[in-house]
A and B are shown apart, each in its own frame.
Chain A
């Protein structure tokens, strides 16, 4: 079989990205009677359990840059970020009508309250507010989280009309371990040769993973790496940055493109953290609930929505990512009105200043249109980094 070109793969992903009716997920559901789809919002849900129930986990990340929000503004005041209003818009315009249930992770009060809006407006759907522990001791947070996972499993069993066995979850854990490994390979590859894996492409590739069945997404990443490796693209004199703050409401694709065009290779980011939230393989034997819980407590990523019990550890995850991916600086890009991202930022900034790592800050909404100021800001930043490293 002929291997696919980068363009073919990226076009395919772009089409998925632009399709706010989620045709791919609809097709998956229609292919077999009885199939069910569970939507989830950022940051993290254990997709393994949904997969083990024979259901499709569908990442819902708002309506994007181009969707016109007509009704959503009647649901949200102007001083609330955009993702809940465009997500509501998706729902009331029927774009999510095929979704059998929604999961709302404990990330902030906006997503939390959106779970209640769903309870009020879509009474026939399964709604799960998914709480993860802020206490990371096995016998405290671990016990709580284990029980929450069991409750989630029971809810999905009811919806599926069948039991979800440990063996099934273990198989799904293995499938997601593989997916995560390839996600990490893509990220590593981009960090090594960012000119060959532009951020916008990697972004689209990961977005496809929000919609496609996980096995297909893994295949797609393999194909992408193969195709990207076969095409040598010109290396530009760009600086290397980590992008922080995009863990929930998504930046417009144009923003990501603009940053690179302005001279900043993005070598790490915190977008779609669900794809790499767990930092190590989860054992695919034994008690899967305990294993998933253990992975969350002891080997999971950091983000503004997660408590860091140890002051000395705060920010180390970011510093380690900067070191590992060889970033020269950080771009903080936070959604407007996002308390978690914007309140975390000064603490992160302080650590960067201490470490002498340059940074800039900017705000966006998923539908921000004007990229000129962002290009200028990023361009100046790139120049200053180059100047700084040359001196």
Chain B
């Protein structure tokens, strides 16, 4: 199926347009630009200073989906980066080496600041130190402590708020020349919370049978605006409203999940997925699922830029900086393993899934280290079988379609057997 024939809904078209508008803004030279990460992304704060938000992870994904990341990674490896490290970093560095061209074909300007929001991943630190070498621009560290005992402490929260007040905000003021206005932040946070309400509504619709959405492959699109440069905007509110209306309509019509090739014919398997997807063969990967009748009803990857359902967090205009702190502390990869296990096990139960599938990513220690133990724990807690596949984010060398397909087929057979045994 060519790109032209891919079935896209209104909300998908809107989302595509939003993302390209953000790239146009970044490359226009008219706004100050900050680079930052998806987890712990302080979009509302950047908006208070009219600073455009550039997310290198998203750039790496865009390049992977356009089949460009392989050569970028190769370029970074040629210039001295190890084969063993996170490929997002190498895709980003390779992109720089290849002229730093944005997906809209225009060159990225050098960022005016690097917002090193150190949330849920230690590699972020090295990544932005590497970028700082290149850009030599102001860099600010926002250290988000790990919620190691399951719940953030007051000390952690205070520490983040203090860093926001004494490090992050002053630098943003200096870079932008705009004075911080906390009421402006409150207004954005209020908007964030509105969009977040619809987002959570959306996530929960996959409890239905059939699920009207796919919460992994489809989910990454649905999460796009709120995980990137749009949280806190009216556009995000409109987007999630539109998405909600579309899903409501699907429910009314009794439709299952939407795929790039149209409606999913039959929902045979319901899965919870842990770990990011593979991006270099995203379509092929997705196709393996819908062709076998598998829909993903919940995934941890759709929590990587913020967890809104598990403990009902919303950005809170009454406590603006504290709520940014809580947001950062709560992102999925900043939570300890027992909490991650609990989230996944609850998902399996509440979404009546057939089991947990882990897509373990070679690049990503933050997600991957410990996943085998997590799988066994979730199996124990739910009585449902788990399965484990291994791919990479943006390095095409580590996607073996045959292996993944085999593994999935035997997993689905195992589920069938279990069903027969239980029937």
What residues of chain A lie closer than 8 Å to B118, measured between beta carbons?
134, 307
B145-158 vs A, Cβ < 8 Å mask (1 yes, 0 no): 11011000101101
| B123 touches A (CB below 8 Å) | yes
| A74 touches B (CB below 8 Å) | yes
| B86 touches A (CB below 8 Å) | yes
B348-372 vs A, Cβ < 8 Å mask (1 yes, 0 no): 0000000000001010011011111
A109–B166 CB distance below 8 A: no
B:75-109 near A, CB below 8 Å: 79-82, 84-86, 89
A339–B372 CB distance below 8 A: no
B84–A117 CB distance below 8 A: no
| B377 touches A (CB below 8 Å) | yes
B373–A143 CB distance below 8 A: no
| B139 touches A (CB below 8 Å) | yes
What residues of chain B lie closer than 8 Å to A289, measured between beta carbons?
none
Closest-CB distance, B91 to chain A (whole angstroms): 14
CA distance A74 to B374 in the complex (A): 12
CA distance A137 to B337 in the complex (A): 31
Q: A109-B121, A143-B159, A309-B141 are in contact. Are A129 and B148 (CB under 8 A)?
A: yes
CA distance A121 to B166 in the complex (A): 40
B377–A120 CB distance below 8 A: yes
| A141 touches B (CB below 8 Å) | yes
B:138-184 near A, CB below 8 Å: 139, 141, 143, 145-146, 148-149, 153, 155-156, 158-159, 162-163, 166-167
| A363 touches B (CB below 8 Å) | yes
Closest chain B residue to A304 by CB distance? B126
B338–A120 CB distance below 8 A: yes
CA distance A116 to B366 in the complex (A): 12
What residues of chain A lie closer than 8 Å to B123, measured between beta carbons?
109, 339, 343
Closest-CB distance, A310 to chain B (whole angstroms): 10
| A119 touches B (CB below 8 Å) | yes
B162–A77 CB distance below 8 A: no
| A151 touches B (CB below 8 Å) | yes
| B129 touches A (CB below 8 Å) | yes
Q: Which of B146, B155, B362, B368 contacts A151 (CB 8 A)?
A: B155
| B250 touches A (CB below 8 Å) | no
What residues of chain B lie closer than 8 Å to A120, measured between beta carbons?
337-338, 341, 373, 377
A133–B338 CB distance below 8 A: no
A116–B370 CB distance below 8 A: yes
Closest chain A residue to B366 by CB distance? A109
What residues of chain A lie closer than 8 Å to B81, measured between beta carbons?
342-343, 346
CA distance A107 to B126 in the complex (A): 12
B143–A133 CB distance below 8 A: yes
Closest-CB distance, B136 to chain A (whole angstroms): 7
Closest-CB distance, A349 to chain B (whole angstroms): 7
Closest-CB distance, A169 to chain B (whole angstroms): 19
B126–A343 CB distance below 8 A: yes
What residues of chain B lie closer than 8 Å to A116, measured between beta carbons?
148, 336-338, 340, 370
Q: A113-B337, A115-B336, A121-B373 are in contact. Are A343 and B127 (CB under 8 A)?
A: yes
Closest-CB distance, A88 to chain B (whole angstroms): 9
B:365-423 near A, CB below 8 Å: 365-366, 368-373, 377, 390
| A135 touches B (CB below 8 Å) | yes
Closest-CB distance, A359 to chain B (whole angstroms): 11
A60-104 vs B, Cβ < 8 Å mask (1 yes, 0 no): 000000000000001111011000100000000000000000000
B369–A114 CB distance below 8 A: yes
Q: Range of interface residues on chain B?
A: 35 or more
B80–A346 CB distance below 8 A: yes
The DSSP consensus for interface residues of chain A is helix
Closest-CB distance, A315 to chain B (whole angstroms): 10
B204-236 vs A, Cβ < 8 Å mask (1 yes, 0 no): 000000000000000000000000000000000
What residues of chain A lie closer than 8 Å to B129, measured between beta carbons?
307-308, 314, 344, 347
B148–A115 CB distance below 8 A: yes
A108–B337 CB distance below 8 A: no
Closest-CB distance, A361 to chain B (whole angstroms): 8
Closest-CB distance, A75 to chain B (whole angstroms): 5
| A258 touches B (CB below 8 Å) | no
Q: Which of B122, B149, B360, B377 contacts A340 (CB 8 A)?
A: B122
What residues of chain B lie closer than 8 Å to A144, measured between beta carbons?
145, 155-156, 158-159, 162
Closest-CB distance, A334 to chain B (whole angstroms): 8
B338–A110 CB distance below 8 A: no
CA distance A336 to B122 in the complex (A): 17
| A131 touches B (CB below 8 Å) | yes
What residues of chain B lie closer than 8 Å to A350, measured between beta carbons?
133
A349–B373 CB distance below 8 A: no
| A305 touches B (CB below 8 Å) | yes
B141–A305 CB distance below 8 A: no
A140–B167 CB distance below 8 A: yes
What residues of chain B lie closer than 8 Å to A308, measured between beta carbons?
129
| A355 touches B (CB below 8 Å) | no
What residues of chain B lie closer than 8 Å to A113, measured between beta carbons?
337, 365-366, 369-370
| B7 touches A (CB below 8 Å) | no
List 8 extra interface pairs beyond A80-B369, A307-B116, CB under 8 A.
Answer: A112-B148, A113-B337, A113-B365, A131-B145, A141-B143, A338-B84, A340-B122, A346-B79
17 A–B contacts from the bound complex (CB under 8 Å) = A75-B370, A77-B362, A107-B122, A109-B123, A116-B340, A120-B373, A134-B118, A137-B166, A140-B163, A144-B159, A337-B84, A338-B84, A342-B85, A343-B89, A343-B123, A343-B127, A344-B129
